[in-house]
Amino acid sequence: MDILADKFYLLSIMALPFLLAVTLHEAGHAYAANALGDSTAKSQGRLSLNPFVHIDPLGTVVIPLVAVMASLPFLIGYAKPVMIQPRYFKNMRRDMIIVALAGPFGNLIVAFFCAYVLRFSLGFGAGGQDWITNTMYYGIFMNCLFMVFNLLPIPPLDGGGIVEQLLPHEAARSYRSIAPYGFFILMGIILLAKEIILVPTLFMTDLVVNLVGVPI
């Protein structure tokens, strides 16, 4: 029973940061694409910070629940991908890179937001074991995790999309062919070489905390 209670408490401190993470990530793609001339996301109602327009039942609800209950090293999940039409961009390679970077940048914004909420909460007397303290610290960590994870140079992640735009045409096409195996590569990293993700995530978490001045 204690294990189940711990799982539910963990879910309670993860839910809000996770929802902010996937929402701002996809919204970042949508706003960047719209600013660069592609109004597809706007026409589909995705140019919004409303989490409900970005939720994917499987990726935003089922998979994260399974990840928590199975005690995976990281919480995994996703929102509905934003549709991008590169033909509307003036400089396709440059603009695709900007749009790809906008998702992880959205996560960095949320990490800083959580850090400021944590700093002010502690300043107003919140303790180290309070729900708001744990939730906001996890929000920093989770959004740094999402940023690092999505910048991995593995198709179809944002990092893979960036690498693809930097390669010559033929090399890019060969590189893109890895995408169907991307999920299995990522699961292998998560289960067998999680330090590839964890080390830079902890570095970014400490960096955000120190830049904001959160008392440690």
Q: Which residues are catalytic?
A: 26
Q: Are 29 and 68 in contact (CB under 8 A)?
A: no
- Residue 17 · residue 139 · CB < 8 Å: yes
Task: Give the separation between CA 216 and CA 197, rounded to whole angstroms.
Answer: 23
> To 5 degrees, how large is the angle CA 105–CA 52–CA 85?
55
In this structure, are residues 24 and 31 in contact, taking their beta carbons and an 8 Å threshold?
no
Contacts of residue 44, Cβ cutoff 8 Å, sequence gap at least 6: 83
**Block residue for tokens 């062919």:** 177
Q: Yes or no: say if 176 and 164 are a contact pair by the CB < 8 Å rule.
A: yes
> Which amino acid is present at 214?
V
CA-angle at 128, arms to 68 and 15, nearest 5°: 30
